[in-house]
């Protein structure tokens, strides 16, 4: 049971480049989330997905797109990276319904120069 | 003002000391989470609670719903407890599904335990 996995672990992009961050979970969770973590800002929700084929904006969605490919996978795409998107990105998953524990991936450290 | 405030922001303790981290929130909640993040590491859930007190090993979490306050205590602290501790709340929006499980996070408390 790998839990929540993310790839890549580290990435450096130039301004304007695009990339996709991958996330997968093997716990059969319905709900998945993408967060960014910046110094002094705490974790902020970018997008979330209640189930396959459904996505919703979170607190800071601008500059990002997401795809819930199937129940296991939830990807985050930066179409045209900007230095302001330098951050650590975490994917998380949880059951739907009652308040359930969220399980986090190991994070992707992204630097945009 | 942030919906979730943690104090202190930074804390240094000697090994063996008792540590307390506080979390105050301003919204109605259905659950509160305490998370741990080691330097350069991922985020691990320590506790999820909606009332009373929970204990796991040397860690104790309490919550007072009326006062909108929670504390995380570390007894007999050890250098391996050095980490950032994050409080997060699940606001009570009365909805289920992924929206209902959205969390609002505090800024974290950086704990350093010296040997």
Structure tokens that stand for B3 in this block: 């919906």
The residue ranking higher by pLDDT, B93 or A94, is: A94
Token pair in block for residue A10: 């580290």
Region B77-102: mean pLDDT is: 80
Which of B41, B90, B107 is the closest to A42 by Cβ? B107
**Segment A39-95, tens digit of pLDDT:** 878 899 999 998 888 999 999 999 999 999 899 999 999 999 999 999 999 999 998
Closest residue, chain B, to A40 (C-alpha): B107
Lowest-confidence region among A47-56, A63-72, B18-27, B94-103: B94-103
pLDDT of the residue at A101:
85
Whether residues A101 and B97 touch (CB distance < 8 A) is answered with no
Give the rounded percent of residues in chain B with a pLDDT score beyond 70.
Answer: 91
Q: What is the pLDDT of residues B46-83, one digit of tens each?
A: 999 999 999 999 999 999 999 999 999 999 999 999 99
* CB environment A39-75: b (16+ within 10 A), e (fewer): eeebbbbbbbbbeeeebeebebbeebebebeebbbbb
Cβ distance A96 to B103 less than 8 Å, yes or no, reads no
How confident is the model at residue B95, as a pLDDT? 52
As a 3-state breakdown, chain B gives helix, strand, coil percent values, each rounded to 5, of 5, 55, 35
Residues from A contacting B (CB-CB < 8 Å) are 30-33, 40-45, 48-51, 54, 56, 58, 90, 92, 94-107
Q: Which of B42, B45, B102 sits opposite A45 (nearest CB)?
A: B102
> Does the beta-carbon distance from B107 to A40 stay under 8 Å?
yes
Mean pLDDT score across all residues of chain B:
91
């Amino acid at each position: 049971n790998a839990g929540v996995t993310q790839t890549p672990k580290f990435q450096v992009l130039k301004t304007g480049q695009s990339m996709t961050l991958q996330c997968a979970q093997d716990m059969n969770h319905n709900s998945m989330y993408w967060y960014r973590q910046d110094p002094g800002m705490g974790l902020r929700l970018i997008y979330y997905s209640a189930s396959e084929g459904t996505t919703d904006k979170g607190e800071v969605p601008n500059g990002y797109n997401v795809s819930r490919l199937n129940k296991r996978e939830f990807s985050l795409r930066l179409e045209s990276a900007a230095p302001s998107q330098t951050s650590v990105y975490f994917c998380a998953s949880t059951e739907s319904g009652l308040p359930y524990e969220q399980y986090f991936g190991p994070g992707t450290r992204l630097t945009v120069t | 003002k942030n919906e979730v405030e943690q104090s202190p922001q930074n804390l240094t303790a000697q090994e063996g000391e008792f540590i307390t981290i506080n979390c105050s929130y301003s919204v109605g909640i259905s659950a509160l989470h305490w998370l741990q993040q080691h330097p350069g590491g991922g985020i691990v859930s320590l506790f999820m609670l909606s009332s009373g007190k929970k204990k796991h090993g040397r860690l104790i979490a309490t919550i007072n719903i009326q006062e909108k306050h929670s504390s995380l205590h570390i007894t007999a602290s050890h250098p391996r407890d050095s980490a950032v501790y994050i409080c997060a709340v699940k606001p009570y929006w009365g909805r289920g599904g992924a929206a209902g499980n959205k969390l609002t996070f505090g800024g974290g408390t950086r704990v350093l335990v010296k040997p």
